[in-house]
Structures are given as structure tokens and as C-alpha cells.
Amino acid sequence: MRAAPARTASRARSLRVESVDGELPRGDLRGRDRRALAEVQRTVLYRRHVESGARFGPFAGYEMPIQYEGVLAEHRAVRERAGMFDVSHMGEIRVRGPRALPLLQRLTPNDVGALHPLRAQYSALLTERGTFIDDLLVYCLDPEDYLLVVNAASRARDLELLETAAAAEGHGVQVDDQSDETALIAVQGPRAAEIVADVVGGEAAELRYYSFLHQDGANRMTSRTGYTGEDGFEIYLPSERAEDLWAEFLERGRDVGLAPAGLGARDTLRLEAGMMLCGQDIGEETTPLEAGLSWIVKWKKGDFTGRDALARQREKGCRHRLVGFEVEGRGIARHGHRLTVRDAPGAAGPVTSGAFAPTLGRAIGIARLDCSSGGPPAPDSAASVTVRGREIDCRIVKLPFYRRPKAGA
Amino acid sequence: MIPDDRLYTEQHEWLKVEDGEAVLGITDFAQQELGDVVFVELPAPGQEFAAGSEIGAIESVKAVAEIYTPVAGSIEAVNDGLEDAPEVVNEDPYGEGWLVRLRLREEGPPNDLMTAAAYEAQLAG
């Protein structure tokens, strides 16, 4: 048997580490060849993961827990009870000062001016072509103090872009990379609220989606956000306190079945929820309009990087579209396979994410279609993907694939 | 731990030879490394394969493993149960999780495969 990470079609000479996604170095599965990991960092929770029996893999320069008990069990825990993720590899960049707001307004497409204190916003850093450098969250602590949460893989580039822009503002804005001293723990699932409220304070349960608590004394932020499609929280705190908080959550969550969950489950959860992964589904070849994220582009707020290109695209229409699809035949479409829409053979393109969806019990994916010969394919259009020389039936579906049941329903 | 009633390949497959037939599966190490198996693609009965050729694939949530036959032969039977219950490869890799049964083209046991002891040594090495 020879195994390769699903993301790459390459045939490994021996079994290889399951890679989750992203631009990963890959290591030998036997776990002895650590050369690929030589430069790799660990989060402050590494020892906790070892204690919990984690299997690790490289992700964006970090040695991260990929799974503990198993991806399916962890995925189910998050959908049915609660799961806890260490996502401390994410970058945290603080932007402060009287000129912070105008700077962020100019650099991001969403309207930071509409953001109230203790609210967060999904946004992006774009190129002049309107394509993604990174997607990110903007947290407003007060109108002169923002925290940007960015992807680990693009952190250095984001920081450089922000620092360059800040330098042009003179003394009006200060940019600090707080990533190394900040840990991030996500607790996600229908039972997350009771666990988190018990540990960080009852106010957490009252938070609205995309709101957060800022507990100044503990230098801790708890936001009702996540990357799983479930109710959940993300807790930012000083690295030196992360081990204690992780243990507290595990202890408090024991009787409701909280499970530590790795990046493997995180990826299947976010894909079911129709959430894009930057560096894989979206990136420097994709604009928010092509990705179905036009809601993060606020035309009335004034100028921002990429605006002109996006305005032209809005007028002319998008040539490429990210679309969701379900596999109807037997098989799993993976990153790099090619999806073709049957009635519009011109509408074809690579699968950007593809996996077996544990909650749905079938394979799903996102593909980047060239739609130049017509508009985007209608939901329900028949399509196909070729896997190991075999054509498998697929169907275009609207994103998300999975929506959580309404509370109380 | 590693059954000594069969032979092993460097690619973590096992082969149990009996009366001119061979049953092929993957080892416990292999299923652990793959993680949760969610799809198994097997050849059609009757198909002929040369030694070393690809006969199918096992997919876990995050990885794809190609299955190779270390011996030449024709497919006598495939484990149909894996279509609806691919997780059996994880649960019982040396038993119910077998993949295919081949009719060997050549008489006698294949040479270049490892004994259980040699395979164990490879895992330890």
C-alpha cells in the first residue's frame, strides 16, 4: 500500500503523513524522518496534545495536532456535543492609534467604520487586483484599537503590508505582532456555551454571534465565532495561561463529552459549513466576488485596495466561480481533481477542497470553475469528476452543505 | 501482535497464501496511519494483474492509499462488505477487513515478501 496526502495527487514512495491542507511540507509517515520538521514551531499546548494522544502533522510552519481519537469521532463530537481546538498558530496583529481606523478602512474591503466596540468582522487583505492576500477577522476593542486575526501562512506578509501602510501614516498608528505571546483555543459545538460560560464567566453565554468579551484583567478575549458551522467560542489569551485554560475546559467539559479535536476535523467541519480556506480555496487568483463573499465588499465606504478591480469585475461579471458540489457516485473528489458541468462543458475547473463529509455521509467539495462560456451553473446541475480514470457523477449544490439546526428547534 | 500465518510487503500489506490462492489486506500499522477509512475501491472479479500493479485504493478522511498486489494473479473475490462498512478495515485489518482474494498465476509462495518477524523488524527499524 502506498499512501499520499489527499491534497496532492503525487504518489509517495512510502506512506506519508496525512496532510490537512495548505502549502505543507510533508514528512515520512514512519515518524522518524524529522528533516521536514526541522524548522517547525510548536504551540504552547504541545505537551497537552501529547498527553491526549495526538498525532501531529506540519501545518503552516507549525507541528499541529491533526487528530486525537480520530477525525470522524472528533467531527461528530463537535456536531453533537463539543470539541476543543488549539489554533494558537493563527496570527494576532494589533493595530492601534488615532489613524488605525482610516488605515484599516483603506486596507480591507469590509466597513470597519460600522464596527462597534466588542464586535468582530470577517474581512480580508486584498491585492490591487482585488484578490486575496489573506482572509481575517477584525476585532474592535475601541475605535482606536483593533486586533486582526490572520492565517499563520500569510502572517509575515500581512504584517509587512500593515507596517508599510502604518509607516506612511506617521505616528498615528502602531502595528504590533502579538502572535507569539497569544494562544487561541476554540470551543465549538451545541454544548460549547455552557462549558465556556462556566469557565470564563456567565456573560459568555449571552454573547451574540461575532461579539466578544474583553476581560482586561486576564488580558483575555472570548468571542462567539468559529470555523465549524456550530455555535462556539474562540478564546484569545496570553500563551503562559493557555495550558491551564485547556485543562480547565477539558475538566469542565468531561461530563458533556467535550473532545479535543485536531486540524483534520476542523477541515471537514469548515468544508461542510461552506467556509473557504485561504491558500487553498481562495488566494491570489480569487476575488471575494468569485468566492461568493461579495458581502465583505462594502462599496459605499470609500476607497480601499482592490476596489477598482472589483468594480470592473462587478460590471463585467466573474469569469471564475467557486461552487459547491456533492458526489453522487462512488468515490471521493479531492483537491486537484477536475470538475466538469455536464450541460455546459466549458464550465470546468479544479477541485479546491474535497473530502468525505462525515455529517452528510457522502463526499463533497468546492471547485473553481471557469464560467466564461456562460454564467455560473445553476444548483442541481449535473457534473462529473474524474478520479483514478473513472468518471463519477456529481451535482452542483448551493453552499453551505450543512446548516446547524436552529436553537430550540 | 503481527500474525505469523502470512507474509508482508514493505508497503504495509499482508498476503495469506493457501492452495494456489492468496488473500490480500493492509496491516494494522497501515490502517492506523491512514486513520478513519471512508471509502474502498476494489477491482472487478476476474480481472488479471501483474505483480506490483495497482488494483484499487483505500481512502481515509484525509489520505488516499493505493493498493498494490505483490503477486500476479486474477481476482477471485473482493470484500463486498467494505462498500457499506469501510470502517472494518480499521477495526479488523487482519480479518474481516481483508480486501481481495487472488488466484495465483505462479505456483508456490512468492519469494520477496517478509515474514511477520522481518516485518516487525522493519516497523521497529
Q: What is the CATH number of the domain that holds B23?
A: 2.40.50.100
Q: What pTM does this model have?
A: 0.92
Binning pLDDT at 50, 70 and 90, where does residue A216 land? confident
Contact state of B63 with A11 under an 8 Å Cβ cutoff: no
Q: Which residue of A has its CA nearest to B124?
A: A30
**pLDDT tens by residue, A41-62:** 999 999 999 999 999 999 999 9
Check B61 against A268: CB less than 8 A apart. Answer: yes
Between A381 and A33, residue with greater pLDDT: A381
| Count of domains observed in chain B | 1
Chain A residues lying within 8 Å of B59, measured CB to CB: 6, 332, 356
Give the pLDDT confidence score for residue A24 in this predicted structure: 34
CA pair distance A321, A378, nearest whole angstrom = 12
pLDDT at A36 over 70: no
Q: Does A5 touch chain B (CB under 8 A)?
A: yes
> pLDDT band for position B109 (50/70/90)?
low
- Classified as helix, coil or strand, A59 is strand
How much of chain A, in percent, has pLDDT values that exceed 90? 85
Q: Which of chain B's residues have a Cβ under 8 Å away from the Cβ of A71? A: 35-36, 60-62
Q: How many of the other CB atoms lie within 10 Å of CB of A106?
A: 17
Going by pLDDT thresholds of 50, 70 and 90, the confidence category of residue A164 is very high
Q: Is the pLDDT reported for residue A339 higher than 70?
A: yes
pLDDT at A27: 33
Q: Does residue B55 lie within any of the structural domains? A: yes
A11 vs chain B: nearest CA distance in angstroms? Answer: 9
Q: What is the mean pLDDT of residues A91-120?
A: 98
Which residue is closest to B31 within chain A, CA to CA?
A: A1
Scan residues 267-286 of A and list those with Cβ closer than 8 Å to B: 267-268
Is B46 inside any structural domain? yes
Question: What residues make up the domain containing B28?
Answer: 7-105
Nearest of A271, A286, A295, A272 to residue A114 by alpha carbon: A295
Contact A388 B57 (CB under 8 A): yes
Give me A204's grid cell: 459568555
Average pLDDT over residues B38-43: 97
Nearest CA in chain A to B24: A1
Residue pair A353/A281 in contact by the 8 Å Cβ criterion: yes
* DSSP3 helix / strand / coil % (chain A, rounded to 5): 25, 30, 40
Spell out the domains of chain A, with CATH numbers in brackets.
1-86+181-275 (3.30.1360.120), 91-177 (3.30.70.1400), 294-397 (2.40.30.110)
CB pairs under 8 A between A and B: 89
Percent of all residues in chain B with a pLDDT value above 70, rounded to a whole number: 98
For the segment A203-208, the average pLDDT, to the nearest whole number, is 97
Lowest mean pLDDT among A95-109, A318-332, A333-347, B31-45: A333-347
pLDDT band at A20 (very low <50, low <70, confident <90, very high): very low
A30 — pLDDT class (breaks 50, 70, 90): very low
Residue of B nearest to A71 (CA): B36
Q: Which of B64, B66, B83 sits opposite A6 (nearest CB)?
A: B64
Q: Would you list the DSSP string of A38-79?
A: TT-B--TTHHHHHHTT-EEEEETTEEEEEESS-HHHHHHHHH
- When pLDDT is averaged across residues A333-338 and rounded to a whole number, the result is 96
Tell me whether A18 touches chain B (CB under 8 Å). yes
User: Residue range A196-214: average pLDDT?
Assistant: 97
Report if residue B112 sits inside a domain: no
In total, chain A counts a number of residues equal to 409
Confidence bin at A365 (pLDDT 50/70/90): very high
Query: What is the rounded CA–CA span in Å between residue A261 and residue A246?
Result: 12
Identify whether the C-beta of residue A278 lies closer than 8 Å to the C-beta of residue A152.
no
In 3D space, the residue among A361, A352, A187, A194 whose CA is nearest the CA of residue A278 turns out to be: A352
**Contact between residue A366 and residue A351 where contact means Cβ atoms under 8 Å apart:** yes
Domain-located, residue B2: no
Residues A73-90 have a mean pLDDT of 98
Q: Is pLDDT at A25 greater than 80 in this prediction?
A: no
Give A268 to chain B, closest Cα distance, Å: 8
Q: Does A67 touch chain B (CB under 8 A)?
A: yes
Any idea what DSSP says for residue A376?
A: P
A106 grid coordinates: 483603506
Q: Give the span between the Cα atoms of B110 and B104, in whole angstroms.
A: 10
Is the per-residue pLDDT at A80 higher than 70?
Answer: yes
> Which residues in A lie closer than 8 A to residue B67 (C-beta atoms)?
1
How many Cβ atoms sit within 10 Å of the Cβ of residue B54?
Answer: 14
Q: Please, are residues A360 and A401 in contact by the beta-carbon 8 Å criterion?
A: yes
In 3D space, the residue among A381, A398, A292, A392 whose CA is nearest the CA of residue A341 turns out to be A381
Residues of chain A with Cβ-Cβ distance to B57 below 8 Å are 388
Whether the predicted pLDDT of B110 surpasses 90: no
Kindly state the average pLDDT of the residues A247-257: 97
Report pLDDT digits (tens) over A373-391. 778 899 999 999 999 889 9
Closest CB to B12: pick one of A15, A67, A264: A15
Say what the pLDDT of residue A1 is: 66
* Residue B114 counted as domain residue: no
Mean pLDDT of A8-15: 34
Nearest to A406 by CA among A168, A231, A208, A280: A231
Q: Would you say residue A23 has pLDDT above 90?
A: no
In terms of CA atoms, which chain B residue is nearest residue A31? B33
Nearest CA in chain B to A362: B38
Q: Among A198-212, A340-354, B33-47, which stretch is predicted with the lowest mean pLDDT? A: A340-354
Please give the Cα distance from A146 to A104 (Å, whole number). 9
C-alpha cell read off for A343:
450541460
